[in-house]
Amino acid sequence: MHTEIICIGSELLIGSMNTNGAYISEKLATVGLKVNREIAVGDDFPELENVFSESLDRCDIIVTTGGLGPTFDDITREVVSKDTGKKLVPDKNVLKTILEFFEKKKIKMPKVNEKQSYILEGAEIIPNSLGTASGQILEIKNKIIILLPGPPRELKPMFENNVLPYLKKKFERGLLKIKVLHTVGLAESVVDEKIRKIVDIEKKLEGSEVSFSILAKHTGVDMKIIVSGTDEMLIDKTIQNLKKEFYDVLKDSIFGEDNQTLESVVGELLLKKRKTLAVAESCTGGLISHRLTNVAGSSMYFKEGIVTYSDISKKRLLGVKDETLNRYGAVSSDVAQEMAEGIKKTSGTNFGISTTGIAGPKPSSTGKPVGLVFIALASNDGTKVQQFQFTGSRAEIKDKIATAALDILRMNLI
Amino acid sequence: MHTEIICIGSELLIGSMNTNGAYISEKLATVGLKVNREIAVGDDFPELENVFSESLDRCDIIVTTGGLGPTFDDITREVVSKDTGKKLVPDKNVLKTILEFFEKKKIKMPKVNEKQSYILEGAEIIPNSLGTASGQILEIKNKIIILLPGPPRELKPMFENNVLPYLKKKFERGLLKIKVLHTVGLAESVVDEKIRKIVDIEKKLEGSEVSFSILAKHTGVDMKIIVSGTDEMLIDKTIQNLKKEFYDVLKDSIFGEDNQTLESVVGELLLKKRKTLAVAESCTGGLISHRLTNVAGSSMYFKEGIVTYSDISKKRLLGVKDETLNRYGAVSSDVAQEMAEGIKKTSGTNFGISTTGIAGPKPSSTGKPVGLVFIALASNDGTKVQQFQFTGSRAEIKDKIATAALDILRMNLI
């Protein structure tokens, strides 16, 4: 089943991120459809015509995004019509929904929008509840062509509610499941070495096809286990077995799976153990609090965060001593310790976390290097301080520090 | 000059974002090279061979990313060798740098990495200071083939330091400049309507080619002005003229240009006016502090942030009154006002900003709706509170509130 995604829009070729390709390929995988190519092309008639006709030769399934708007440079409908030989026919019902869309906004429909009511002869219409560009599904000579609008907020519900159910029905036989394991604290090369044996051998499992991919981000390494086949029970069992092997070699470095984040896992652990947390941040500047509060319901365990971006704040809000600041400087093990103990005490929580370091891009005035950081965790068992030396941009260093701090708490909770 | 980017890696076809394509296309535009297609393809020998040979037929320039690692599924070198007929030859100097890379880490070079020292006959080597995968530039029959590794942190410096200077030298004639204008607070349809006249008429400027694109994000709308030609003075003048027209219709809604962010602009204004800021956050959970501290040097004006995720914290740290909380609830205009005034007073800054609202996904226990938020700005001129009703996911609502708060401060500073 050769499948391609064609993303149409000149902005994609001058620096805009192609988020639709990533979204659609991930969704197609869930119904057992592996994408062979993703192509981005501009709003350029001859170029798109070439791209589309080549794909039409190769493919069983083509999904296009973009180019369904009302303006002159929206050309997807016309190109597909030309390449497939299917006429564009005005559809009264589609026109009605477009008129209603404008009525609701109390605007008269501009004449150009009429063009959006034209449908390829024989195509099924995919309604768009958030915009005026309907999608279309055309079946032609055992091939399937699916046209979708470009804006992700319009495309996604159309894909979930119409395209996926349609494809599921069509391709009930094939099935593909993805299991993602998230690690933290290990370099890609280390993860790679540890899992090499599993990855090299297990590919030969019978009855289900297995593949792996590794994705290294600056805050950790993700592994994807991709299993396809026809027997769901077998697929699930294969995933379970492989998961176990990964956990055996990577142990606690795996902090979560699939949609879990480090902060959601930390939140679950705090809830489960009925513990509360407060955070005192210097170099991370609020990022740890921000990540913790991205989790719905975090007010159950996260009580307060204090961002002390000056010595005065550290003293007044956290009780850091003048003497400590003078003797060791703000970026020091001792100040980290006093910050963590200070926030724990003032907020009355079970845990206090603190960060103090040099996020960059310039070293401190006293010559402490960019990326140097002290992270402290204060608990009822006392306070532990760890020193790290991170590299990267200011944003990356902030991310790495926040990740390390959350992971220190996680390790304390498991 | 037909140019294509081929991004290689199976992860790109099951949901991973193709960030390299966006990065490279934007950079190529700066030297006047418009990308015709971007293709993502897996680590699959026959499929990549097809993709590459087709591109080779069509293209003057091909840039590939990925598939230069040491493992069995890194196949880019081999595919290009096969399709171009250029042998892969071991290079002693490249091998030496790989050996040194491992020596520094005190690891013996694994045998598999030797493969990375093979270079296409006649290719120029692009050194990789952050990894073991060298890049290559091959000129063959008036075509240029550029091979780059997949990890963005390795690819980007190689592109900036080697590929761009190389291409600049090759294609000195053509020139393309991009000017991005960032707006805040206006819906895409409003921006679109306001700029329609400029966009529709100005396309016919002489001596330089002009195009526009609009990108709507949930926190604002960006406009790109793209001007190409051969005369740099004319290009700059065209951009200046168009910029002026955009400012004339959009006025203060444009908060910045190019790499500026709302937080960097706010920072510049605070610095210029020698004012200081502290932030008291409830529903944004640290995001405003995080964004402010993403700007290098922000400690000059940003003094402290307090994330009060409980009523107790609001009282103890910000001096919010029991009576106010009881009468109006935490999400209220009065509490927002007391929070902003409290943080301004306790931190001794010129400005205090506060946010209190319902980030979702669930409404408050007292039935206040998701997305309802009060933002207060306390200054020496008194305190102003504004009420908003935002929509979206929890993360989007946090983003929108933080953006609105920063923009209220910006409007107060200009």
CATH topology of domain A262-413: Maf protein (3.90.950)
Helical segments of A219-357, H only: 232-250, 262-272, 287-293, 311-318, 322-328, 333-347
pLDDT of residue A109: 87
Helical segments of B262-371, H only: 262-272, 287-293, 311-318, 322-328, 333-347
CA A50 to chain centre: 32
In this prediction, residues B216-226 reach a mean pLDDT of: 86
**Domain ranges within chain A, ordered by starting residue:** 3-170, 175-257, 262-413
Tell me if B309 and A286 make a contact (CB, 8 A cut-off).
no
Q: Point out which residues pair with B257 in neighbouring strands.
A: B181
User: What digits encode the pLDDT tens for the residues A96-154?
Assistant: 999 998 888 788 888 889 999 999 999 999 999 888 999 999 999 889 999 999 999 89
Helix (H) or strand (E) holding B51: helix B45-58
pLDDT of residue A205: 59
**SS3 of residue B6 by DSSP:** strand
User: What digits encode the pLDDT tens for the residues B147-193?
Assistant: 999 999 899 999 999 999 999 888 765 677 889 999 999 887 788 88
In chain A, the residue whose alpha carbon lies closest to the alpha carbon of B358 is A296
End-to-end CA distance of chain A: 45
Q: Say what the pTM is.
A: 0.81
pLDDT < 50 regions, chain A: none
Torsion angle of C-alpha atoms B190, B196, B197, B200, degrees rounded to 10: 180
**B216 has a pLDDT exceeding 80:** no
The label of the residue with tokens 């981005």 reads A40
Cα(B127)–Cα(B124) distance, integer angstroms: 10
Tell me if A304 and B302 make a contact (CB, 8 A cut-off).
no
Average pLDDT, chain A: 92
Average pLDDT, chain B: 92
Q: Point out which residues pair with A281 in neighbouring strands.
A: A307, A355
Q: Which chain B residues have a beta carbon less than 8 Å from that of A195?
A: none
Cβ partners under 8 Å of residue B202, min gap 6: B210, B242, B245
Residue of A38 and B393 predicted with greater confidence? A38
Helical segments of B215-306, H only: 232-250, 262-272, 287-293
Q: Are A414 and A252 in contact (CB under 8 A)?
A: yes
A25 and chain B in contact, CB less than 8 A: yes
Tokens coding A177: 């499941």
Above pLDDT 70, what percent of chain B? 98
Cα(A240)–Cα(A257) distance, integer angstroms: 12
User: What digits encode the pLDDT tens for the residues A14-33?
Assistant: 888 889 999 999 899 888 78
Task: Give how far Cα A307 sits from Cα of A76, A290, A292, A338, B318, Å.
Answer: 50, 11, 14, 14, 14
A21 and chain B in contact, CB less than 8 A: yes
Cβ partners under 8 Å of residue B311, min gap 6: B320, B325, B330
Q: Which chain A residues have a beta carbon less than 8 Å from that of B41?
A: 36-38
Tokens coding A212: 């792996």
Task: Give how far Cα A252 sits from Cα of A247, A275, A411, A414, B205, Å.
Answer: 8, 21, 8, 9, 62
pLDDT of residue B291: 98
Above pLDDT 70, what percent of chain A? 98
Interface of A with B in 295-334 (CB under 8 A): 296, 298-299, 302-310, 312-313, 316-317
pLDDT of residue B202: 55
CATH of B175-257, one of 3.30.70.2860, 3.40.50.2000, 3.30.1330.10, 3.30.70.270: 3.30.70.2860
**SS3 of residue A276 by DSSP:** coil
Helix (H) or strand (E) holding B302: strand B302-308
Q: Which CATH architecture has domain A3-170?
A: 3-Layer(aba) Sandwich (3.40)
Picking from A35, A285, A289, the nearest residue to B13 by CB comes out as A35
Tell me if B37 and A35 make a contact (CB, 8 A cut-off).
no
pLDDT of residue A173: 59
Cβ partners under 8 Å of residue B184, min gap 6: B219, B220, B253, B255, B262, B403, B407
Q: Which chain B residues have a beta carbon less than 8 Å from that of A299?
A: 309-310
Which residue in A306, A331, A346 has the most chain B C-beta atoms within 10 A of its own C-beta, making it the best mutation to test that interface?
A: A306
Cα(A346)–Cα(B313) distance, integer angstroms: 10
Q: Are A306 and A318 in contact (CB under 8 A)?
A: yes
Q: Are A355 and A282 in contact (CB under 8 A)?
A: yes
Residue B266: closest CA among B165, B131, B132, B414: B414
Phi, psi of A173 (to 5 degrees): -70, -50
pLDDT of residue B175: 75
pLDDT of residue B64: 98
Cα(B51)–Cα(B12) distance, integer angstroms: 15
Interface of A with B in 386-405 (CB under 8 A): 392, 394-395, 398
Tokens coding A279: 């955070």
10 Å CB burial of residue B146 (0-12, 13-18, 19+) is buried
